[in-house]
Amino acid sequence: MDLYERIAEAAGYIKAADPRTPRVGVVLGSGLGEFAETVADPTAMAFADIPHFKNVGVAGHAARLVLGRVGRATVAVFQGRIHYYEGHDIADVVFPVRVLAGLGGQSLLLTNAAGGLNREYRPGDMMVIRDHINLMGVNPLRGPNDDRLGPRFPDLSAVYDPAFQDVLAAGLAEIGRPAHRGVYLALSGPSYETPAEIRMMAALGADAVGMSTVPEAIAARHMGMRVAGLSCISNLAAGLAARALTHREVLETGEKVKGDFIRLLTLAIPRLAS
Ligand code: HPA
């Protein structure tokens, strides 16, 4: 079965469970999953039950798809994501985003937890992604291209939709939070970076660093979706704070910001649908 048929089968399973067409998809990052509980009229399904979905094994990630409403927008919320560092093929990492497009999704909001490189960022801040640097060492489009999904050589000169950046920045201002806009640099992980690597990445122009988002953004642009990206700065990057990094710290910051994160998404998502 080729990729196109696998997408159709997964989308068919989801449509049979709930026929609503999600306009907007949302991928929730580490420690940020609770937003899914706020979705109105929800239909939830486990990734494990959707054909061809890989399962997710990280603490802080449920593995569910929740279809429902945020305001007037019909949404598909991926509560948990498939990470490359778990050992999955990069094509499997972006499969949920491909299925979102298969369901008729037109917009995608990618969220993540990230380390802050920019000296103005503080843990708990949120950064609107304005561009990315892919240092994961892989590209989700490698391999045969199916022209029904998108072009062989997609343009990435505006991955993160400028109007969507404005929506997120305006939302941050409305909830009284600093509206940083920055460059997200993606690595494969799962080890955190060394201080020398962080100095290199800052010199390259990165404002935040993490282990996700970039593959999904590339696949979404491949299929012509409009993309928004939001990083929750969970910690200062390695060497910028006087202590070691832990996944626990990432989850704890997620816990602290979740109220504002939920407020922001509740405001912004209906605006990403119109
Ligand atoms: N580095 C990489 N990924 C991360 C970090 C970090 O400091 N914080 C949260 N995800």
The pLDDT assigned to 243 comes to 82
Distance of CA 199 from the midpoint of ligand 1 (Å): 14
Q: Is the CB of 250 under 6 A from ligand 1?
A: yes
Q: What is the CATH number for 221?
A: 3.40.50.1580
What is the distance between the alpha carbons of residues 261 and 124, in angstroms, rounded to a whole number? 10
Q: Is the CB of 31 under 6 A from ligand 1?
A: no
Residue 134 placed within a domain: yes
Q: Which of 28-32, 73-77, 115-119, 171-175 has the lowest mean pLDDT?
A: 28-32
Distance of CA 98 from the midpoint of ligand 1 (Å): 25
- Provide the pairing of β-strand 24-28 with 73-79: parallel
Q: Are 232 and 253 in contact (CB under 8 A)?
A: yes
- pTM, entire model: 0.95
The pLDDT assigned to 56 comes to 74
Token pair for residue 266?
């509740």
Residue 151 placed within a domain: no
pLDDT at residue 60 tops 90: no
Counted domains in the chain? 1
Mutational pocket test of ligand 1: of 110, 235, 236, the residue with most ligand atoms within 8 Å of the beta carbon: 235
Token pair for residue 206?
């990165």
User: 68-120 pLDDT, tens per residue?
Assistant: 999 999 999 999 888 999 999 999 999 999 999 999 999 999 999 999 999 99
Task: Please compute the mean of the pLDDT values over residues 46-66 and round it to a whole number.
Answer: 81
Q: Which domain holds residue 63?
A: 3-143+158-273
Q: Are 90 and 10 in contact (CB under 8 A)?
A: no
Residue 36 placed within a domain: yes
Cα→Cα distances 149→81, 103, 157, 172, Å: 21, 13, 19, 34
pLDDT at residue 58 tops 60: no
Residue 152 placed within a domain: no
The pLDDT assigned to 250 comes to 82
Q: Is the CB of 115 under 6 A from ligand 1?
A: yes
Residue 153 placed within a domain: no
Task: Please compute the mean of the pLDDT values over residues 14-43 and round it to a whole number.
Answer: 94
Q: Is the CB of 245 under 6 A from ligand 1?
A: yes
Cα→Cα distances 24→67, 86, 265, Å: 10, 26, 12
pLDDT at residue 19 tops 70: yes
Query: pLDDT-derived band of residue 61, with 50, 70 and 90 as boundaries?
Result: low
What is the distance between the alpha carbons of residues 156 and 8, in angstroms, rounded to a whole number? 26
Residue 148 placed within a domain: no
What is the distance between the alpha carbons of residues 249 and 205, in angstroms, rounded to a whole number? 25
Residue 149 placed within a domain: no
What is the distance between the alpha carbons of residues 216 and 205, in angstroms, rounded to a whole number? 21
Among all residues, which ones are annotated catalytic? 30, 61, 83, 85-86, 113, 211-212, 235, 247
Query: pLDDT-derived band of residue 204, with 50, 70 and 90 as boundaries?
Result: very high
The pLDDT assigned to 92 comes to 94
What is the distance between the alpha carbons of residues 235 and 247, in angstroms, rounded to a whole number? 10
Q: Is the CB of 74 under 6 A from ligand 1?
A: no
pLDDT at residue 232 tops 60: yes
User: b/e per residue, 73-110, with b = 16+ CB within 10 A?
Assistant: bbbbbbbbbbbbebeeebbbbbbbbbbbbbbebbbbbb
Helix (H, G, I), strand (E, B) or coil at 7: helix
Mutational pocket test of ligand 1: of 32, 201, 234, the residue with most ligand atoms within 8 Å of the beta carbon: 234
